[in-house]
C-alpha cells in the first residue's frame, strides 16, 4: 500500500516543472513521514489517511510549482514513434515489398518508450528492459532469413542473462556462474546438437549446472565427495555407453552419485534461480514440454514457447502489482504472434499483436 502511494505520488509530481532533485526531496519527506507514523504504532491506512491522497498533495503544490505546458523532447519522441513507424512500414512495404518481416519496425515503439524512461529516470537496467525486443528481432531474422527457428530460439536467453548480469554486484563469482550455467549449457547443447546432429550423449554438458550447484555445499568433505562422484559417474557412463553401445545400461553408473547423495544426506541440491515451489515446478514442466513436443512432433520451431512460462511465472509472482501485465506483455505478444503465424500463416497482419505492449503499458499507467 505504501509503495503504491509513493509510486502514484511520483507519477503525479512528473506533471510539474521541477528538477529531479526537488522531486526526490518531496518523495523523501513523505516517505519519512510515513515511517514516523508507523514507528508511532499507526497502521498504514491511518498514516495514509492523515497524509491525504496523491491528488490532494499535488494540488497543494500547484501554488509553488507550475504545471508542465509542453512535453519534454523525450516524451515527444515517444508520442511520435507510432506515426513514424507506420510511415516507415508503409514505405518499406510499397517500395520494397517488405510487409513481412517489415512489421518488426513497430517494436521501436515500446523500445523508444523504455529508452526514454530509462534516460530520464537514470535507470540502470536498460539492456534488461529492451532485451525481449532485441531477442524477438534476432529470432525472426534467424528464422525468416536463415530458417533457424531451432536453435534460433536460444536468443531469448539474453533476457534472463542480462537480468542476472545486472544483479552481479550482489552475487559472488560462483553464484553468478551458477545462475548463468543453465542458459550457457542449454545453448551449447542445442548448438552442438544442431550442427553435428548428436544430441546424445552431448546432454552430459547440462550436468555442469548440477556440478556448480554442488560447489555451494558448505561442508568441504561433502562438496568433494559429491563433485568427485558426479564426475566419476559421468566418465563411467560415457565409457560404458561407447564400449557396450547400451546407453540405458550405462545410466547405472549414476547409482554411484545417487549413493553419495544419500550418504551425505543431500536429496536435492539447491541452486539459485527459482525461489518458490511453483516457479521450480513451472521450470521443470516447461523444459519437459519443450523437449517432448519438439522431439516427438518435430515442433522445435514452436515448442520453445513453453519456456516463456518461466519468466512469466516469475514476473506474476514477484513484479509490482501495477506493472505485472506490462512486464509480461512482450512474452504474451511473442507467443500469440508465433501461434498465429506458424499455425495460421498470418505472419502479416499477425504483427498487430505487438501493439498490445504499448496498449497494456498505457492502460496500467493510466
pLDDT digits (tens, 9 = 90+) for 213-262: 888 888 888 889 999 999 999 999 999 999 988 888 888 999 999 898 88
What's the DSSP call for residue 67? B
pLDDT exceeds 90 at position 365: no
Average pLDDT, the chain: 78
Mean pLDDT of 136-151: 80
Cell of 283: 521450470
Rounded to whole angstroms, the Cα distance separating 290 from 302 reads: 9
> Residue 273 — pLDDT band, cuts 50, 70, 90?
very low
Cell of 302: 514452436
**Whether the predicted model's global pTM rises above the 0.85 cut:** no
Q: What pLDDT score does 74 carry?
A: 63
Structure-model confidence comparison of residues 298 and 244, the more confident one = 244
pLDDT digits (tens, 9 = 90+) for 26-69: 878 878 888 887 777 788 787 777 777 777 776 776 666 665 54
The strand pairing partners of 16, in sequence order, are 67
Cell of 282: 513451472
3-class secondary-structure state, position 16: strand
Q: What pLDDT score does 266 carry?
A: 59
Q: Is the bond leading into 233 cis (omega within 30 degrees of zero)?
A: no
3-class secondary-structure state, position 238: helix
Q: What pLDDT score does 229 carry?
A: 94
Q: What pLDDT score does 232 carry?
A: 95
Q: What pLDDT score does 66 carry?
A: 61
Render the burial of 213-247: b for 16+ CB within 10 Å, e for the rest. bbeebeeeebeebbbebbeebbebbeebbeeeeee
Q: What pLDDT score does 235 carry?
A: 95
Rounded to whole angstroms, the Cα distance separating 145 from 140 reads: 8
The strand pairing partners of 67, in sequence order, are 16
Amino acid at each position: 500500500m505504501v509503495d503504491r502511494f509513493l509510486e502514484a505520488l511520483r507519477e503525479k509530481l512528473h506533471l510539474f516543472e521541477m528538477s529531479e532533485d526537488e522531486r526526490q526531496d518531496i518523495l523523501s519527506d513523505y516517505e519519512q513521514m510515513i515511517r514516523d507514523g508507523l514507528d508511532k504504532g499507526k497502521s498504514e491506512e491511518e498514516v495514509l489517511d492523515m497524509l491525504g491522497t496523491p491528488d490532494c498533495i499535488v494540488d497543494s503544490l500547484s501554488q509553488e510549482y507550475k504545471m508542465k505546458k509542453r512535453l519534454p523532447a523525450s516524451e515527444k519522441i515517444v508520442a511520435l514513434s507510432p506515426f513514424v513507424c507506420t510511415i516507415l512500414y508503409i514505405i518499406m512495404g510499397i517500395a520494397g515489398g517488405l510487409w513481412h518481416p517489415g512489421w518488426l519496425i513497430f517494436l521501436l515503439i515500446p523500445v523508444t518508450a523504455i529508452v526514454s524512461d530509462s534516460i530520464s529516470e537514470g535507470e540502470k537496467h536498460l539492456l534488461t528492459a529492451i532485451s525481449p525486443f532485441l531477442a524477438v528481432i534476432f529470432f525472426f531474422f534467424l528464422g525468416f532469413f536463415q530458417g533457424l527457428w531451432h536453435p534460433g530460439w536460444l536468443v531469448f536467453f539474453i533476457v534472463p542473462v542480462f537480468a542476472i548480469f545486472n544483479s552481479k554486484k550482489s552475487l559472488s563469482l560462483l553464484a553468478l556462474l551458477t545462475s548463468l550455467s543453465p542458459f550457457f549449457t542449454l545453448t551449447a547443447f542445442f548448438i552442438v546438437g544442431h550442427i553435428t546432429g548428436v544430441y546424445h550423449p552431448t546432454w552430459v554438458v547440462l550436468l555442469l549446472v548440477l556440478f556448480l550447484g554442488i560447489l555451494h555445499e558448505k561442508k568441504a568433505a561433502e562438496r568433494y565427495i559429491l563433485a568427485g562422484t558426479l564426475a566419476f559417474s559421468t566418465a563411467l557412463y560415457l565409457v560404458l555407453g561407447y564400449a557396450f553401445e547400451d546407453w540405458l545400461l550405462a545410466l547405472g553408473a549414476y547409482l554411484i552419485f545417487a549413493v553419495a547423495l544419500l550418504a551425505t544426506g543431500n536429496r536435492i541440491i539447491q541452486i539459485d534461480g527459482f525461489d518458490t515451489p511453483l516457479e521450480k515446478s513451472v521450470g521443470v514442466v516447461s523444459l519437459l514440454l519443450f523437449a517432448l513436443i519438439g522431439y516427438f512432433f518435430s515442433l522445435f520451431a514452436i515448442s520453445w514457447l513453453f519456456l516463456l512460462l518461466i519468466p512469466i511465472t516469475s514476473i506474476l509472482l514477484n513484479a509490482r502489482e501495477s506493472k505485472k501485465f506490462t512486464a509480461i506483455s512482450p512474452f504474451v505478444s511473442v507467443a500469440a504472434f508465433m501461434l498465429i503465424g506458424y499455425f495460421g500463416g498470418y505472419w502479416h497482419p499477425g504483427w498487430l499483436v505487438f501493439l498490445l505492449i504499448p496498449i497494456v503499458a498505457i492502460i496500467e499507467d493510466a
